[in-house]
Amino acid sequence: MFDKFSISLSLKNRVYLVNAILLCISLIGAVLMVWYTYKIEGVFKNIISKNVEILQSAEALGTSLVNQKGYVSYYFLDNNPDWLVQLKKYRILFDQNLTLVNSLINEPWEKKTIAEIEKDYKVYVATRDKVIELYKTGDHKNGFILHKEVRQSFFNILELCELFKSFHKNRIQKAIEISQKEANRLRYMVLMGVVIVILLSLLVNFIFARHILAPIRKLALQADTKGGPGKAKNEVDALEQSVLSLIENTEQAHLELKRSQESLMQSEKMALVGKLAAGIAHSIRNPLTSVKMRLFSLNRTCSFSESQKEDFTVISGEVLQINKIVENFLEFSRPPKLLIKKMSPSVVVDSAVYLLGQRLKSYHVTLKIIRNGLLAKTLLDPEQLKEVIVNIIINACEAMDRGGHINIYEEETYVEPLKKVDVIRIMDDGEGIPQNIRDRIFDPFFTTKEEGTGLGLNIAFNIINEHGGWLDVSSGKGNGTSFLITLPIKDS
């Protein structure tokens, strides 16, 4: 039934509805409790307090009446006139209490009873005064006879006072019973409210458990791609961690996709241009070899003048330059074949720097290696990696015409999804690469040098790509250039 009803209400409205019911029950319970407290207070105030005052006055009537009888008896025993003074005092007290009772009562039967007490009391007082006069004159016989009648009046008045007191005692007792009944009713209502609140709380817990926490838990488990041993404090934290992990993985996947696209475009360019380069290189290499052999033969068999030797030297140098270009074309046209060894890239960096020692001096460039220790060993081709580093350092030296500084930073870090990687950052303080050509520096045959082939950085990019890493560049005009070589740490 709840599931059918929940179809027409959204989860938010269901939660709001149950909370509104809980709030209404709490408010109603609070209002009822306040109302009942005022009601019980009214019962005690309007009934008990008034009846207690009447009861106390009625008891005072009886007490003053009994004291009057006692002082009369004391006077009859020893004829001491002091007892009559006390008698007069309690007679005044009786009259005062009688007046007070008359001011408090409202019901007809109460007025009738008090009227009978007042009437009988007047008769009693008048007769008692006659008895006292007879005793004063010495007529004890008639005084004794009349005294019996006074006794009967006394007991009649006392009986009426007791009856009046009993009625108000019963009334007080009834008021107490009513208050107890109201208190019990309040307890039942509070108990019922507690039960309803508990049931509604269980309903809220059920809604949260089934329609909120369960989907969140399920979503968190589905979104948990790491599956690590750490447990979140609750489902919301788990979902947050999973979503953050998904966002991180998505960003990393986007980055990897971008790199893959760049690599694919580069591979396509290399495949197209490589075929052309290979064909041109082979076509040029055969006649070039014949030219080189004839030049060698002429150099051994002919005698040249000074001007002819100079021309011969220029021709030989240009032939060697053409041969170098052809070799670059051939190297570009075929993917690099790696001769893998397990070693630290730091060793390759040291070897490349040592090899370039004299050239760095000729360019007036100082080079500094900054590392905490040797990079972790990984699988790499040391000669090809050294070619990449040498190429980048020579480019940096040529970019700094008047000398400068090159810093090589090494570190191990963590990059998804390659886990741990070795990073080599080569930074110079030259003029930097303009923004408009920065994205083209890895393209084949793109160069800003007059004698360059535009293949050096392309070959370096392919070598690092074959290692499973990537080669990045960051630069700005006048801010120097930074090449970042990232190599995954592999055991096999």
- CATH number, domain containing residue 420: 3.30.565.10
The DSSP code for 45 is I
The b/e string for 15-47 (b: 16+ C-beta within 10 A; e otherwise) is beebeeebeebeeebeebeeebeeebeebeeeb
In a domain, 449, yes or no: yes
- In this structure, of 44-48, 290-294, 350-354, 433-437, the range with the lowest mean pLDDT score is 44-48
Query: Is the model's pLDDT at 251 over the cut of 80?
Result: no
Cα angle 178, 183, 185; round to 5:
95
317 shares its domain with 346: no
Whether residue 232 is contained in a domain is answered as no
Identify whether residues 284 and 363 lie together within a single domain. Answer: no
DSSP conformational letter for 10: -
| Two structure tokens written together for 443 | 């393209």
For 71-136, list the strands marked E by DSSP. none
| Region of residue 417 (left: phi > 0; alpha: psi -120 to 50; beta: else) | alpha
pLDDT for res 406:
92
Residue 32 pLDDT exceeds 60: yes
Q: What CA–CA distances, in Å, run from 79 to 67, 88, 135, 297, 377?
A: 17, 15, 9, 182, 134
324 and 347 inside one domain = no
For the cut 90, the answer to whether the pLDDT of residue 133 exceeds it is no
Helices and strands of the chain, counted as H and E runs: 14, 7
How many other CB atoms are found less than 10 A from the CB of residue 472? 15
Query: In terms of domains, do 320 and 351 share one?
Result: no
311, part of any domain: yes
The SS3 assignment for 422 reads strand
Structural domains counted in the chain: 3
CB contact at 8 A, 456 and 377: no
The C-alpha angle 475, 476, 478, rounded to 5 degrees, equals 120
Burial (CB count within 10 angstroms: exposed 0-12, middle 13-18, buried 19+), residue 325:
middle
pLDDT beyond 70 at 340 = yes
Least confident of 74-83, 321-330, 361-370: 321-330
Within-domain flag for 413: yes
Element (H, E) at 194: helix 140-207
Of 215, 248, 281, the domain-final residue: 215
Distance CA 364, CA 113 (A): 133
| Distance from C-alpha of 160 to C-alpha of 58, rounded to nearest angstrom | 10
Which range is least confidently modeled, 96-105, 249-258, 404-413?
249-258
pLDDT at position 48 is 64
Q: How confident is the model at residue 461 (pLDDT cuts 50, 70, 90)?
A: confident
133 within some domain: yes
Residue 228 has pLDDT above 50, yes or no: no
Comparing 292 with 427, the larger pLDDT belongs to 427
Q: Tell me, what's the pLDDT at 234?
A: 55
| Boundary (domain end) residue, out of 304, 334, 364 | 334
pLDDT band at 418; cut points 50, 70, 90: low
Ranges of beta strands (E only) in 39-96 are: none
- Domain co-membership, 328 together with 386: no
Is the pLDDT at 192 greater than 70, yes or no? Answer: yes
- Report the mean per-residue pLDDT for the chain: 76
Averaged pLDDT, 13-40: 73
Q: Which of 334, 351, 375 is the last residue of a domain?
A: 334
pLDDT at 478: 72
Rounded to whole angstroms, the Cα distance separating 326 from 288 reads: 10
User: Are 341 and 329 part of one and the same domain?
Assistant: no
Average pLDDT for residues 438-456, to the nearest whole number?
70
| CATH number, position 63 | 1.20.1440.210
pLDDT of residue 113: 80
Dist. CA 32–CA 121, nearest whole Å: 50
Query: Does residue 373 fall inside a structural domain?
Result: yes
**Is the distance from CB of 394 to CB of 406 less than 8 angstroms?**
no
Pair 248, 193 in one domain: no
In a domain, 225, yes or no: no
Same domain, 196 and 258: no
Residue 444 has what DSSP assignment?
T
Give the range of the structural domain holding residue 443, as residue numbers without chain letter.
Answer: 337-492
Same-domain pairing of 179 and 269: no
Same domain assignment for residues 38 and 171 = yes
Given a cut of 60, whether residue 100 has pLDDT beyond it is: yes
Stretch 400-428: mean pLDDT:
85
Kindly state whether residues 247 and 348 are assigned to the same domain. Answer: no
Instruction: For residue 304, give the CATH number of its domain.
Output: 1.10.287
Q: Are residues 459 and 344 in the same domain?
A: yes
The whole-number average pLDDT for the span 424-453 is 77
- Does 303 fall in a domain? yes
Taking residues 24-45, what's their average pLDDT?
Answer: 71
Task: Identify the band that residue 2 occupies on the pLDDT scale cut at 50, 70 and 90.
Answer: very low
Region 351-366 average pLDDT: 88
Reported pTM = 0.41
**Tell me, what amino acid is at 32?**
L
